[in-house]
Amino acid sequence: PALLQRPNLALWVNNEKQIYMKEEAFPTCPPDSCVVHVKATGICGSEIHFWKTGGIGDVRVTHPIILGHESAGQIIEVGANVTSFSVGDRVSIEPGVACWECGMCVRGRYNLCPDVKFSGTPPTDGTMRRFVAHPARFLHRLGDDVSYEVGALIEPLSVGYNAVRRAAPYLGQPVVVAGAGPIGLAVALSARAAGANPIVITDLEAHRLEQAKEMGFKNTVLIDMAWDRNEVATKLRAAAGCLPQIVFECTGSEASINAACYAVEDGGTLLQVGCGKPEISLPFMSLGFREVNVVTSFRYQQTWPVVLRLAQSGVFGDVTQLITHKLPLEKAVEALEISADRTSRSIKVQIVDE
Ligand code: NAD
Ligand code: ZN
């Protein structure tokens, strides 16, 4: 049937750890928003957490919500106040809708807005549905030659870009990226574009390192959980052939964070991207006596325009290599199951709609 006659299918999660498809009404379009036909959506580890464990930290699934926050699509309705977009425009959705009024927003650090409404994170409904209304300020036009699949990768690529911008590696600066999931690979792409070299990538799973190699990151270390943190650090330094000055930690595991503390050169930077237990044990005084900078990175701010440019211009190489599975919206439940199944060897699973 014609597009607007098609049901607004959505993927829901409830507080009983169930995911299911349910039809939504066609969204009403607020004056500052556009209605987007969502054409591609990536699945992120957080969706699996909301489903399998009922939440992440203090953010709990207390009532049914629609998941999804890595999306791109086509505008099918434009709000009364919106002048920057027209029907038919192709856009990538920036999912964190900040208030634009608080101190953090005014200072440009809008990823830290305490009132942010983040798609697919309780209590805000997400983008895993056919039609969604989203504020125009948080929509970004796709170049004609940028696919919706790439448009939906701008979100994880932005996580990587934000982390790399905060560490600001320079040409020839040796770095380690711990963890070769979608986020570690996104960090590696931005670090490489910034000139970091060598780039050593670690993981526990060989297939993830194979993927890293296919994307041009040949210097990998398969971590053995039997190694203690000093052994891991020694292997990382050996693989780099010099002392890593930045370790981008993209696993969130206590073991990997500890290894990162010992791998990094004195005066270097531990850039923490991975999320894990709320409290962990660190070699605090070793960091102190060695003046190691401990820097964190949370989501992103002001990344879409630049990351879209970098993706479009080919600086990142072929980012679609991150996408290992694509399923139609009607099979969104199956798509989440594949993403949650470690034996599927997936990196990025996307839900698509024509
Ligand atoms: P992922 O689970 O797909 O990838 C993590 C990888 O780390 C896996 O391949 C795993 O095998 C590997 N790993 C686990 N323990 C390891 C160890 N000790 N040594 C080496 N490798 C190890 O997750 P992802 O989607 O790539 O996300 C990575 C992390 O980034 C997660 O913790 C996620 O919550 C976090 N994250 C942070 C932000 C942010 O804004 N800071 C945004 C998105 C995701
Ligand atoms: Zn704000």
Q: Kindly report, residue by residue over 45-83, the tens digit of the pLDDT.
A: 999 999 999 999 999 999 999 999 999 999 999 999 999
147 burial (CB, 10 Å; 0-12 / 13-18 / 19+) is middle
Which residues lie near ion ligand 2 (Cβ < 5 Å)?
A: 98-99, 102, 105, 113
From ligand 1's centre to the CA of 45, what distance in Å?
8
Q: Which ligand is nearest to the CA of 263?
A: 1
Q: Which ligand is nearest to the CA of 112?
A: 2
Locate the domains of the chain by residue range.
3-141+318-352, 159-296
Q: Which ligand is nearest to the CA of 275?
A: 1
CATH 3.40.718.10 given to domain 3-141+318-352: no
Taking CA atoms only, the protein residue closest to ligand 1 atom 26 is 181
Q: What are phi and psi of 15, to 5 degrees?
A: -85, 10
Instruction: Provide the 8-state DSSP code for 354.
Output: -
Non-local CB neighbours of 58 within 8 Å, separated by 6+ positions: none
Taking CA atoms only, the protein residue closest to ligand 1 atom 17 is 256
d(CA 98, CA 104): 9
Domain spanning 159-296: CATH superfamily: NAD(P)-binding Rossmann-like Domain (3.40.50.720)
Q: What is the pLDDT of residues 94-152, one digit of tens each?
A: 999 999 999 999 999 999 999 999 999 999 999 999 999 999 999 999 999 999 999 99
Any ligand 1 atom below 6 A from CB of 223: yes
Taking CA atoms only, the protein residue closest to ligand 1 atom 27 is 183
Any ligand 1 atom below 6 A from CB of 215: no
| Spacing of C-alpha 106 from chain mean position | 24
Any ligand 1 atom below 6 A from CB of 299: yes
Any ligand 1 atom below 6 A from CB of 346: no
With bands split at pLDDT 50, 70 and 90, how would you rate the model's confidence at 301?
A: very high
Which amino acid, residue 170? Y
Q: Which ligand is nearest to the CA of 104?
A: 2
Q: What angle do CA 246, 284, 270 make, to 5 degrees?
A: 15
The residue behind tokens 């370790």 is 247
Token duo for residue 349: 């699973």
| Spacing of C-alpha 298 from chain mean position | 10
Q: What is the pLDDT of residues 329-344, one digit of tens each?
A: 999 999 999 999 999 9
With bands split at pLDDT 50, 70 and 90, how would you rate the model's confidence at 193?
A: very high
> What proportion of the chain, given as a percentage, has pLDDT over 70?
100
d(CA 301, CA 48): 24
Mutate to test the pocket of ligand 1, among 203, 270, 294 (most ligand atoms within 8 A of CB): 203
Q: What is the pLDDT of residue 101?
A: 98
For residue 185, which atom of ligand 1 is closest to its CA? 26
Instruction: Provide the 8-state DSSP code for 131.
Output: E
Residue ranges in the chain assigned as alpha helix (H):
45-52, 103-106, 148-167, 182-194, 206-214, 229-240, 254-263, 284-289, 304-313, 332-340
d(CA 354, CA 352): 7
* Residue-by-residue DSSP string for 17-68: S-EEEEEEPPPP--TTEEEEEEEEEE--HHHHHHHHTSEETTEE--S-EE--
**Beta-sheet pairing, 199-203 with 175-178:** parallel
The per-residue pLDDT of the chain, averaged, comes to: 97
Is pLDDT at 246 greater than 80 in this prediction?
Answer: yes
d(CA 91, CA 183): 22
d(CA 203, CA 213): 12
Token duo for residue 165: 């911008």
**Whether the complex's predicted ipTM surpasses the cut of 0.90:** yes
Q: What is the pLDDT of residue 1?
A: 73
Q: Furthest-apart CA pair in the chain: how many Å? A: 67
d(CA 38, CA 351): 9
Token duo for residue 244: 């890593």
